Structure 1
Amino acid sequence: MSPEEVRELLPLYALGALSPEERSRVEEALARYPELWPEAKALMEVAAHLAEGDPPAPVPPGLEAKVMRRIRAHRSFPWAWLGRVAAALLLLALGYGAFLGGTWLLALREPATQVFALVSPQGEMVGRVILKADRTALVLLNRSSPKGRVFQAWGLGHGEPTPLSTFRLPLKSLRLPPEALAVAVSLEPPGGSPKPTILFGLPR
């Protein structure tokens, strides 16, 4: 595991959101790259403050730009996108005390929370869905909607897809209907559609 791959996993490591095997790999890598320990400790302190409900500290100058550059970067490491999502949520909770950031960060630590990959019909990874036990989902895409189109979420169950919210930004929180087991995303005209027209991301 390279230092950059370790950095991608550090937010998830701090949140306790890795499997025992993945956690062990990160700790072995941290022993090989001791220069990464200060970043790991800082993230673990933020996660601990969130869990205890302590007030957030101010964002150090330049941190927001650094994290956003990391989120926008494209890498093929399997956990990279989710790691960057966790880093973004840590930034929200650390810098602004945002309810959204803190709530979803802590949800990643819950055993009942599920994380789905969203994959295009061509097999390209386009984002993730974090699904909490209360049927609240956070859709995180790796791009914004193209001009003249909006994203639309769909609840997937045993019947026809259920149309849910439309959105333009690559992050959307929504509640699934009781019959929905997963979420898909399509590209639609403004205002949405009763049935998906251009499937953008299917759960996998």
Structure 2
Amino acid sequence: MNDTRPHLPQILDEDLAAYALGALPPEEAEVVRRAIQRDPDLARRLREYQNVVWALHYAAPPVPPPPVLRERILARVRSRRAWGLPRAWPAWGWAKRWAWALAAFVVGWLALQVPQWMGTHPPATDAPMVEVALQGEMGEGHLQFHPGDTVAYLYVKLPPLPEGQAYQFWLVKPDQTRDSGAVFAIPPAESTPLPDGHYLIWVRAPQPLEHYIAFGITIEPATGSPAPTGPRVLFGSLADR
């Protein structure tokens, strides 16, 4: 029986890394974008790269990657050439392939370094990620973090605000006092939306995130507020997850 399923291009990790970095020419970027829309696993892998790339806007100055990366990169590219792995589009130049392989390895290495720069670290165990849905009339979002972390992923889909205003993320303590976790605009500076239209915002908390009971977003002055003063647009509780 003939296979009538549509042919999907083979998307490699270096393609996803280059896409996350905005380093692909328009025609190749369009091929990757279409493949991501059809393949949930590709979308998940892209989000991992985008998390790292966007985190660099908030991280400390980068540390040079280990010299061993160069040999790993060269070995991987030589292996691809030797085996002649198929591609869905014409073969690209050696320099471009090498650069994209470098992007994939560097972004992967940064995935290990960024949490340390941001004052947290990957969990020592395979503890499941906590996800809290945030709902409101203006949009929606969700917060993700591992138990013990003080930095979280905030994915939001909200409209832009007038000049002079910003969104502020609040972490609600059991005594109903609040800590500020982020002040941000939509769209964030130098950022692009995920394929589903959400933007990634990094949240920093003074204490582990599971110590809070709820989370919310309000509209505040562009410089932020010491406590909520504007209308609440999104809210979610740990008890509701």
**TM-score w.r.t. length of structure 2:** 0.45
Q: 1:130 to 1:172 in 2, by over 3 A?
A: same
Q: By how many angstroms is 1:202 displaced?
A: 0.7
Runs of 5+ in structure 2 lacking a partner? 53-102, 116-121, 189-198
Counterpart secondary structure, 1:116:
strand
Q: Does the aligned pair in 2 maintain the 1:141–1:171 contact within 8 Å?
A: yes
Whether 1:137 aligns to 2:152 is: yes
The residue aligned with 2:49 is 90
Which one of the candidate residues 168, 176, 186 is aligned to 1:160? 176
Bigger shift: residues 145-154 or 181-190: 181-190
What's the CA shift string for 1:98-122, capped at 9, x where partnerless? 7369979x98xx54311222111x3
Please list, as runs of the form range in 1=range in 2, the aligned pairs for 1:38-57 lying within 5 A after superposition.
42=11, 46=13
Q: Does the aligned pair in 2 maintain the 1:163–1:193 contact within 8 Å?
A: no
Q: Distance in 2 between matches of 1:190 and 1:181?
A: 26
Runs of 5+ in structure 1 lacking a partner? 1-31, 50-55, 74-79
What is the alpha-carbon root mean square deviation over aligned residues? Answer: 4.5
Q: By how many angstroms is 1:69 displaced?
A: 9.0
Higher relative contact order (CA 8 A, sep 6+): 2
Residue identity in the other structure for 1:167 = F
Q: Does the aligned pair in 2 maintain the 1:90–1:101 contact within 8 Å?
A: no
Q: Does the aligned pair in 2 maintain the 1:92–1:101 contact within 8 Å?
A: no
Q: Does the aligned pair in 1 maintain the 2:139–2:233 contact within 8 Å?
A: no
Q: Distance in 1 between matches of 2:201 and 2:222?
A: 16
Q: 1:86 to 1:58 in 2, by over 3 A?
A: closer
Which aligned segments of 4 or more residues in structure 1 are displaced greater than 3 angstroms?
A: 32-39, 56-71, 83-96, 98-104
Whether 1:174 aligns to 2:190 is: no
The count of aligned residue pairs is 148
Which one of the candidate residues 119, 126, 133 is aligned to 2:140? 126
Which one of the candidate residues 233, 236, 240 is aligned to 1:200? 233
Q: Does the aligned pair in 1 maintain the 2:141–2:155 contact within 8 Å?
A: yes
The residue aligned with 2:223 is 191
Q: Distance in 2 between matches of 1:145 and 1:101?
A: 32
Q: Which has the larger radius of gyration?
A: 2
The residue aligned with 2:78 is none
**TM-score w.r.t. length of structure 1:** 0.51
More helix by share: 1
Q: Does the aligned pair in 1 maintain the 2:219–2:233 contact within 8 Å?
A: yes
Q: Distance in 2 between matches of 1:153 and 1:189?
A: 13
Q: Distance in 2 between matches of 1:70 and 1:140?
A: 22
Q: Does the aligned pair in 2 maintain the 1:155–1:180 contact within 8 Å?
A: yes
Q: Does the aligned pair in 1 maintain the 2:144–2:153 contact within 8 Å?
A: yes
Q: 1:158 to 1:90 in 2, by over 3 A?
A: same
Residue identity in the other structure for 1:162 = R
